[in-house]
Amino acid sequence: MSGTNYDISDQQLKKYEENGYIIIRNLFDAEEVRKLKKCFEDTEEMVNNRITLEDSLGRNVDLTVWNDPGNDVTGMAARSEKVVTAAERLLGGHEVYHYHGKLVQKNPNTGGTFLWHQDYGYWYQNGCLFPEMLTVFLALDKCDKTNGCLKVLRGSHKCGRIDHSMVAGQTGADIDRVRELKKKLDVVYVELDPGDALLFSCNLLHCSGPNDSDRRRWAYLMCYNTRHNNPVKVHHHPLYTPLKKVPNSAIKECENYTDFTGKSFMGTNDETTNRVERK
């Protein structure tokens, strides 16, 4: 599916329901990716709010996490019609809101691993009663096996929520159950070019390996919840907040790379599902 067609077809919706994910190639074109990378690379605030997640091997993954989309280039992307409309279509046509965004930074030769987990393994603890949530994983760099691309367990979203526990600095799914599921379901390496996006269910099991290459692997993740799934308790991510969609053209028209007013960056003390250390 090409990013030039922003309407999720019935066939794509069926694939999402069957597999727990779809891939949209070129959802963001080269100019849009360039602007996003400029916003992430050239601003001190993104660096100053970076937190570090350690894996069981002692390697680190750097994250910058924020709650509200804001009015900068990254915010225009998260509020764009092509992204929000796709999320609404995949989540049953329900109104969605921005649950949070993050920049995941796996740097060359040092980037760590993520354990097998479901996002709902975390978000369930936040008072979200239903797994009607998803993530748009947008590749900013080429993602392949050598630099630690995502792996997904196709169809694992149908298993429902799996128990999670703390392993080293991360929260991972019950490894015995994952081991048995891998005997029945296909492990898929999600290899993406810059601008490609993986849209996946919050119950899809996924993980990623280390970055042993000399290339970085950065990705922009936009997470959405439905309005009627408004969390029943206050936590470190937002309760329902109306999302103001913008035209797709707003991404290229926006020249705000530095004013992150209102984004509500998360700090070390805000994260309840992983042990993090401010970089």
**Per-residue pLDDT in tens (0 to 9) along the chain, 279 residues:** 445 446 899 999 999 999 999 999 999 999 999 999 999 998 888 888 999 887 767 788 889 999 999 999 999 999 999 999 999 999 999 999 999 999 999 999 887 888 899 999 999 999 999 999 999 999 999 999 999 999 999 999 999 999 988 666 677 889 999 999 999 999 999 999 999 999 999 999 999 999 999 999 999 999 999 999 999 999 999 999 999 999 999 999 999 999 999 999 997 445 544 433 333
Residue ranges per structural domain of the chain = 13-278
pLDDT at 169: 61
pLDDT at 56: 67
pLDDT at 274: 44
Distance CA 133, CA 272 (A): 19
The alpha carbon dihedral of 270, 47, 39, 138 has a sign of negative
What φ, ψ does residue 21 adopt, rounded to 5°? Answer: -165, 160
220: nearest Cα among 35, 6, 4, 22 = 35
Q: Does domain 13-278 have CATH number 2.40.50.100?
A: no
What pTM does this model have? 0.93
152: nearest Cα among 181, 131, 111 = 181
Collapsing DSSP to helix, strand or coil, 45 comes out as helix
First to last CA, the chain: 38
What type of residue sits at position 183?
A: K
